[in-house]
Amino acid sequence: MALNTRSRGSELSVVEREIACNNRYEDVGYVQYDTKDGHYFYLHPSPFLPTARKEIYYAPTSPPPEYEFVEVEVSERTQVFLDRACKDHLYVKTICGWKPFDITPLATRRKNLDFMEIIDYFTYPYKGEADIVQEVATCSTLFAFSSPPITGETGGIKTAVFGKNYQWDLFQRPLKIIPPEFKKISSEYYYSVSKTDRRIRKTSGEINQAILRPEKMVSDLPVVIDETARRTFSKGHHENHEIEAGVIIAQVLDGLLLKPESSDSIGKMMGNVIYELRDEYLSAGQVPFNQNVGDAVPRLASSYARVQSNPEIRKEDVRYVVDMWSSMFQRAGKLLSYPMKTHHMYELTGEGRRVYFECYDVFGADYNIPITEAMDTVTVGPVEFELAVDSLVEKGYCKRSRDAIMLLEPCR
């Protein structure tokens, strides 16, 4: 959904709606210069919504800084006609002063959806175990809400995604809420969802990248979607889903205006958990992605605070994102803990991989496994087990007899 095509009131963020429609904020807004020196400027409801008012501000002396929210004091208002018929006009408001305007109280105001409802939105494409689907959806939500820049650095979330091509398509679906304006490299909030692992040459703002099986990108968060399947929907669902998507993007826009702060005690806590994250990452040995050890925790915690419309990072936010990272990291680590190359894994179905790995852990390869023992070992049902064995046999990772199966060593 393009930012300039939003037509429903629910698609406007709280900040946009209040500044555009509430007379209390008549002379409050986001500064954009009309002239290079800034003496003539506009006040927009947000960086994402241009003003609909036919007015421009004039600062005879020091203008307010561009790309900041300010409140101005107007000393004079003059009507200027732009055509000979005097039908088209513009009001010029001369200001005698300005002050910074803290947008936080508006951006954190109660929303249409609770933050858990936002996360639930990102579950819609997936079918699978509830805990796994919830984790994938939470990771997608953190990516959508981005993260403010750390001092002297760029912000954003870099995500390494692991799954088959059809699962990658599922991952992209809810991210269609990201406005096309944010997919331009010039945007302050830049998003790239791609199979191509490329370096983004951008030195400011927030840079969000989700890459399928990256080899070079340094990632904040792994997202393993290999145990999910496509969810089917009844007729009429998509129309309701589009309406909900408009509400979601409105809350994302409010979130992007927040720069959650951490207290000294929270900063110290994050320093301690970075040690935990580093130890877990380094002790794992070879893993299928490159981890940003030092920045991941503050970035993920800031994003999670944004999701909840919180101006401050809390202890439970830090613990939650670290636990979620650890869970995803362990699942990503399993991709290399077996003698099978990552790209070979994705030749199999999700059930096929699960049956292979769970049986391999217990019995190894080149061993006749009675089917009854194999079914007692795995965590899939009888029907899924049969389909999994079909997949393994077809790809050459298993052979079967009447009452047993034998796993074969994978391709090297």
pLDDT, tens digit only, all 412 positions of the chain: 789 888 788 899 999 999 999 999 999 999 999 999 999 999 999 999 999 999 999 999 999 999 999 999 999 999 988 777 777 889 999 999 999 999 999 999 988 889 999 999 999 999 888 999 999 999 999 999 999 998 778 999 999 999 888 899 999 999 999 999 999 999 999 999 999 999 898 989 999 999 999 989 999 999 999 888 888 876 666 666 777 888 999 999 999 999 999 999 999 999 999 999 999 998 887 788 999 999 999 999 999 999 999 999 999 999 999 999 999 999 888 776 555 555 566 677 778 888 988 888 888 888 899 999 999 989 888 988 998 998 888 888 888 888 899 998 876 5
Range of the domain at 281: 115-333
Amino acid identity, position 231? R
The span from the CA of 46 to the CA of 68, in Å, is: 10
Query: Of 333, 368, 388, which one is at a domain's C-terminal end?
Result: 333
Taking phi first (over 0 means left), then psi (-120 to 50 degrees means alpha), and beta for anything else, what does residue 309 get? left
Does 412 reside within a domain? no
Q: Report whether 258 contacts 104 (CB < 8 A).
A: yes
The verdict on 183 and 76 lying in the same domain is: no
Does 398 reside within a domain? yes
Q: What is the structure's pLDDT at 4?
A: 84
Q: Which residues contact 363 (CB under 8 A, 6 or more apart)?
A: 369, 374, 377, 407
Among 222, 218, 185, which residue's Cα sits nearest to residue 204? 185
With vertex at residue 224, the alpha carbon angle to CA 377 and CA 351, rounded to the nearest 5 degrees, is 35
Query: Of 79, 103, 127, which one is at a domain's C-terminal end?
Result: 103
The verdict on 278 and 351 lying in the same domain is: no
Among 388, 346, 395, 356, which residue's Cα sits nearest to residue 167? 346
Residue with tokens 């979601």: 248
Does 281 reside within a domain? yes
The span from the CA of 323 to the CA of 56, in Å, is: 50
Q: Report whether 200 contacts 157 (CB < 8 A).
A: no
The verdict on 130 and 87 lying in the same domain is: no
Token pair in block for residue 129 = 């175990």
**The domain spanning residue 354 has which CATH number?**
1.10.10
Does 365 reside within a domain? yes
The verdict on 183 and 328 lying in the same domain is: yes
Instruction: Convert the chain into a string of H (helix), E (strand) and C (coil).
Output: CCHHHCCCHHHCCHHHHHHHHCHHHCCEEEEEECCCCCCEEEEECECCECCCCCEEEECCCCCCCCCCEEEEEEEEEEEEECCCCCCCEEEEEEEEEEEECCCHHHHCCCCCCCHHHHHHHCCCCEECCHHHHHHHHHHHHHHHHCCCCCCCCCECCEEEEECCHHHHHHHHCHHHHCCHHHHCCCCCEEEEEECCCCCCCCCCCEEEEEEECCCCCEECEEEECCCCEECCCCCCHHHHHHHHHHHHHHHHHHHHCCCCECCHHHHHHHHHHHHHHHHHHHHCCCCCCEECCCCHHHHHHHHHHHHCCCCECCHHHHHHHHHHHHHHHHHHHCCCCCCCCHHHHCCCCHHHHHHHHHHHHHHCCCCEEEHHHHHHHCCCCHHHHHHHHHHHHHHCCEEECCCEEEECCCCC
The verdict on 97 and 129 lying in the same domain is: no
Q: What is the structure's pLDDT at 236?
A: 62
Does 110 reside within a domain? no
The verdict on 277 and 376 lying in the same domain is: no
The string over 1-10, giving b where at least 16 C-beta atoms fall within 10 Å of a residue's C-beta and e elsewhere, is: bebeebeeee
The verdict on 82 and 216 lying in the same domain is: no
Query: Of 53, 82, 103, which one is at a domain's C-terminal end?
Result: 103
* Long-range Cβ contact pairs of 375-382 (< 8 A, separation 24 or more): 378/354, 379/354, 380/351, 380/354, 380/355
Among 293, 286, 118, 320, which residue's Cα sits nearest to residue 219? 293
Does 326 reside within a domain? yes
The verdict on 190 and 307 lying in the same domain is: yes
Token pair in block for residue 295 = 């920045």
Q: What is the structure's pLDDT at 341?
A: 59
Does 109 reside within a domain? no
How many separate domains does the chain show?
Answer: 3
Within its chain, how far is the Cα of 160 from the centroid?
12
The verdict on 27 and 48 lying in the same domain is: yes
The verdict on 73 and 164 lying in the same domain is: no
The verdict on 299 and 391 lying in the same domain is: no
Q: What is the structure's pLDDT at 346?
A: 67
Q: What is the pTM of this model?
A: 0.82
Amino acid identity, position 162? F
Q: What is the structure's pLDDT at 345?
A: 66
The verdict on 249 and 351 lying in the same domain is: no
